[in-house]
């Protein structure tokens, strides 16, 4: 087992100067874990674990005991958690080997990794392009074969969009399916941890390993069964799939539109029943997402003030000056922008006008999904409106509407499961993904449909430098 991990580490050190997928490589920890896993395999303890010995990359907003967890921010550059997140405990129990902590947008705020204090990651399909965000490092690590699988977090598409840009499978589970204990919060009612892998079976196995009720997380759900691998069935005959008309009204790359329509025909050929339907409520999801996400970020990030942990500014006159200098120097532009927006919508004069109104619209979006799932088993749509853009074209000081938020944010607002799966390449050879959205705790329907579709496509992989 140690030989396998050593070979994986050699690949990481060889390719990291190009891709910048990792913030911290856990060489000693990985080799120690490999030795322990081998002993457990030899004793028969891990006979039933499909993940024994698999190397995994962990997004750097998930706490790992004894290994720094930075959130890609200067303010937590040297923070070392005294405990493991629940998902890390579950992975270690399953015999998975942690290979390192991956790059991301600072505090998961961004869609390109360009807001990272440690520099942007590169897309293995084309290093001039972004791997997406905020879980861009997790996607780049798997696409560049610097880890077998990875974990990301998804607040408004941050697992699904990078998976799409890097030609991978990414699953955002139902809110509450995976414990958030140990996930450093961005927007608590939206965040959810999920897997990024090269294929659907790997995603199903990893999701099964990290799911389950956790008494340490008050939002954790108490499902009876998480046996997602049983849903790996190549049979979707009679499955009812809804395709929202509203997404065809958005500005979409013509290649993506063509590939998506071809994917719809593939599902028809597999025996699914496809139907276009009106879904106008999601038109308001991006604005609603921004108000709620920024409000929750403002609250969650108030704890970083230079007093208890993390970065502390020098040369301050008093406590108020310490707060101002620490937060001013420790946070990047995008994080400060969202904190300010959050403070604005939560202020006395704006609470009813913005935040409370956003909560009401969120309820309308949830009801729209509930009504849709009375008719359909899953909902199908493109994952992004464009393939991975050039890093040089992304200006983080001039925020604009993300091309993936339009398609993804409503899923987080409603707390639903969704998956991005690769379905082809555009004219420039860059991956295109499609999104499957399920009803609450409908992961098995998504996995079954994704697995059936995946079997109609050959696995495309980038030319790795």
For 183-202, what is each residue's pLDDT tens digit? Answer: 999 999 999 999 999 999 99
pLDDT for the residue 398: 79
Q: Are 436 and 446 in contact (CB under 8 A)?
A: yes
pLDDT for the residue 222: 83
pLDDT for the residue 48: 83
User: Looking at 158, 211, 220, 285, which residue is catalytic?
Assistant: 158
Residues forming a β-bridge with 197: 169
For 331-356, what is each residue's pLDDT tens digit? Answer: 999 999 999 999 999 999 999 999 99
What CATH superfamily classification does 1-278+380-465 receive? Amidase signature (AS) domain (3.90.1300.10)
* Contacts for 146 with CB less than 8 Å, ≥ 6 apart: 8, 11, 12, 15, 16, 19, 21, 22, 57, 99, 140
Q: Does residue 135 have an active-site annotation?
A: no
Q: What is the pTM of this model?
A: 0.97
| Residue ranges, the chain, pLDDT below 50 | none
User: Looking at 21, 49, 59, 179, which residue is catalytic?
Assistant: 59
Number of Cβ within 10 Å of residue 275's Cβ equals 11
Sign of the alpha-carbon dihedral angle for 94, 448, 418, 262: positive
CA atoms within 13 A on the CB side of 307: 10
pLDDT for the residue 228: 97
Q: Which helix (H) or strand (E) holds 197?
A: strand 192-197
Q: Does residue 158 have an active-site annotation?
A: yes
Q: Are 212 and 93 in contact (CB under 8 A)?
A: no
pLDDT for the residue 404: 79
User: Looking at 49, 134, 179, 420, which residue is catalytic?
Assistant: 134
Q: Does residue 179 have an active-site annotation?
A: no
pLDDT for the residue 396: 87
What distance in Å separates the CA atoms of residue 379 and residue 267, rounded to the nearest whole number? 12
pLDDT for the residue 401: 66
pLDDT for the residue 399: 72
Q: What is the residue extent of each domain of the chain?
A: 1-278+380-465
């Amino acid at each position: 087992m140690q030989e396998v991990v050593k070979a994986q580490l050699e690949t990481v050190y060889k390719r990291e100067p190009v891709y910048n997928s990792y913030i911290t490589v856990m060489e000693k920890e990985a080799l120690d874990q490999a030795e322990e896993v081998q002993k457990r395999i030899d004793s028969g303890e891990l006979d039933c674990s499909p993940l024994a010995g698999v190397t995994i990359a962990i997004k750097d907003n998930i706490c790992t005991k004894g290994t720094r967890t930075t959130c890609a921010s200067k303010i937590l550059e040297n923070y070392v958690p005294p405990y493991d997140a629940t998902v890390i405990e579950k992975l270690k129990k399953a015999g998975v080997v942690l290979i390192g902590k991956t790059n991301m947008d600072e505090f998961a705020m961004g869609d390109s990794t360009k807001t990272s204090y440690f520099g942007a990651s590169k897309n293995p399909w084309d290093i001039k392009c972004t791997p997406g965000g905020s879980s861009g490092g997790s996607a780049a690590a798997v696409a560049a074969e610097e880890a077998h699988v990875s974990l990301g977090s998804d607040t408004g598409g941050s697992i699904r969009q990078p998976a799409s840009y890097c030609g991978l499978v990414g699953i955002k589970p139902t809110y509450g399916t995976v414990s958030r204990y140990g996930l450093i919060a961005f927007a608590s009612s939206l965040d959810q941890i999920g897997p990024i892998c090269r294929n659907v079976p790997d995603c199903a196995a990893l999701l099964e390993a990290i799911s389950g009720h956790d008494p340490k997380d008050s939002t954790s759900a108490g499902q009876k069964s998480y046996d997602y691998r049983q849903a790996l069935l190549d049979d979707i005959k009679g499955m009812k799939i809804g395709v929202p008309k509203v997404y065809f009204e958005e500005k979409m790359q013509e290649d993506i539109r063509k590939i998506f329509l071809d994917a719809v025909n593939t599902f028809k050929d597999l025996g699914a029943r496809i139907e276009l339907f009106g879904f106008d409520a999601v038109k308001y999801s991006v604005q609603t997402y921004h108000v709620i996400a920024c409000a929750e970020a403002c609250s969650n990030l108030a704890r970083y003030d230079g007093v208890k942990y993390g970065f502390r500014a020098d040369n301050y006159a008093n406590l108020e000056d310490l707060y101002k200098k620490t937060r001013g120097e420790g946070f990047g532009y995008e994080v400060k922008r969202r904190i300010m927006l959050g403070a604005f919508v939560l202020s006395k004069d704006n609470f009813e006008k913005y935040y409370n109104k956003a909560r009401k619209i969120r309820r309308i979006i949830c009801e729209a999904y509930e009504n849709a799932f009375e008719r359909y088993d899953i909902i199908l749509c493109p994952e992004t409106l464009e393939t991975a853009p050039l890093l040089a074209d992304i200006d983080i000081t001039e925020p604009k509407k993300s091309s993936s938020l339009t398609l993804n944010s409503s899923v987080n607002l409603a707390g639903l499961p969704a998956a991005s799966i690769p379905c082809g390449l555009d004219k420039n050879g860059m991956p295109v993904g499609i999104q499957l959205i399920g009803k609450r705790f409908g992961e098995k329907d998504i996995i079954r449909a994704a697995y059936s579709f995946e079997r109609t496509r050959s696995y495309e992989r980038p030319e790795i430098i």
